[in-house]
Chain A
Amino acid sequence: MRAACDAGVPGIHGDCGGALACATCHVATDPVWAERLGPPGPLEDEMLDMVDGERTPTSRLSCQILASEELEGLILIVPPAVL
């Protein structure tokens, strides 16, 4: 989320600064990456029901995806309904 905000990616706002309080950093990915990232935790899961646009099976809140070397090559998309 932080990288997306710094780069001015449209649709990613991170209003609450990553505290799972706003649901304004909604992203989705492909099923392979979704598997590798793992499912959202219970708090994130609750907030995902509040995103702009429809929640998808691979939806995540990008503030909960922490960059690491294992994620090299990760592709995230901003769901069109968010824009």
Chain B
Amino acid sequence: MTTAISDIPSMNDRLRVVAGLPEHDAQCLPGRFYTDPDYFRHEVETFLSREWHCLGRADEIPGPGDYFTGQLFDEPLLVVRGDDGAVRVLSNLCRHRGMPLAEGSGSTRRFVCSYHAWSYGRAGELVNAPRMRDKGVTRETCSLPSFPCEVWNGFIYANLDPEARPLAPRLGQLGDLLGHYRTGEMRIVRSFEEEWRTNWKCLVENFMEAYHLSVVHPETLHPYTPTGLSRKSMSDDSFTSYCANYPETAGSRGTGAPGLTEEERRRSTLFCLFPTQIASQAATLLVSFSIQPLAVDRIRVRWTMSTWGDELTQDELEDRIALWHEVNREDREKLERMQRTLASRHAPSGPLAPRDYEGTIWDFYRYLGRQVPPEETPLRAVSAY
């Protein structure tokens, strides 16, 4: 029987233990971390809603007035390129009575609310509010609030926390890992949005471990990135990564940026920018997933495919898109089935595979461990009685 009230402190004790294990003794987190709605709310309140999340690629909105919409937890977002060329992440509610302002994506001179025709410019400034002149409704009082936003290597990041410390200065090592690929110059091909019935951490862990590649993706990924050739790569407080190397027998996957080494051309470099961006960077292809947690067992996945210049033909790009849809189907099937069993009282905390195959999950747990408040004082144990 599970207890009626989730014991967050004791779950965090368990997380500290798991995150503190040495690498060769690494274990996976017990099932409850993936199925307990109270723990999910705790994650959202304590760190998920204060972290940087990737919303998409900057070249999805290349020109002034270009925009797309999204949602992070409770915040509807409007991501728009201003007349000054800047990308802004604005609150997507009309300042009148909270109606959603923009929908979908497109390009516009101004955003007009469908309820009472209040209108806003491309930087979120109030432009017109009919009959409201004597009501103190002005550009100063009623423009759209904005959230911290950074563009790094062509990715758009937003943070719901106005006090968030800047992201880019922390990404030096990840920038070095990706440097030769010229990630910022990759060009958007297409974007997709799906809802998967799985806990957000399950997709992070799945994407970042090579252990499953040959078993789950025998025809789609195994020919190019078999489990056996994968090697764990760099990690620090902000990210983890691994190199999915190609067999010598595999054909070329393209040339890409001129400065790439042969090793870089003969592999896909996979990374997780904690907590919710997972991506695969290869010479001619960049696939990036933004995980938006909706509930303990539900996520929205927004993913983009970008390419290097015109090296791949339109047919080749369509083939790669079809391939990734198939890869996603293969993973999603596994994750949605596993989500249904993780609530079992017998959900294991089993050993993780060696570092090259599941070491990135250990890195991810150490990141989660850093988000937990420090050990609580013994006084807490006394007050339980």
Contacts and interface: CB of A to CB of B under 8 A. Distances in A.
B135 interface: no
A67 interface: no
B168 interface: no
Contacts of B131: 50
B137 to A, nearest CB: 12
Nearest to B113: A15
A23 interface: yes
A13 B110 CA distance: 9
A11 B133 CA distance: 19
A21 B133 contact: no
A24 interface: yes
Interface SS majority for chain B: loop
Interface string A37-50: 00000000001001
Interface string B87-120: 0000000000000000000000110100011010
A15 B117 contact: yes
B162 interface: no
A65 to B, nearest CB: 19
B109 A21 contact: no
B109 A13 contact: yes
Given A15-B112, A15-B128, A50 B119 contact: no
Interface in B127-158: 128, 130-131, 133
A74 interface: no
A16 interface: yes
A23 B109 contact: no
A78 interface: no
A22 B110 CA distance: 14
Given A21-B117, A22-B117, A24-B119, A15 B133 contact: no
Pick the most buried of A15, A21, A23: most chain B CB atoms within 10 A of its CB: A15
Interface string A9-38: 000010110010111100000000000000
B268 to A, nearest CB: 44
B109 A50 contact: no
A16 B112 CA distance: 8
Contacts of A16: 112, 117, 130
A50 B110 contact: no
Contacts of A47: 130
Given A16-B117, A22-B117, A24-B128, A50 B133 contact: yes
Contacts of A15: 110, 112, 117, 119, 128
A21 B130 contact: yes
A22 B133 CA distance: 12
A31 to B, nearest CB: 28
A19 B117 CA distance: 10
A15 B116 CA distance: 9
Nearest to B116: A21
A36 B133 CA distance: 32
B119 A23 contact: no
Interface of A: 13, 15-16, 19, 21-24, 47, 50, 52
Interface of B: 109-110, 112, 116-117, 119, 128, 130-131, 133
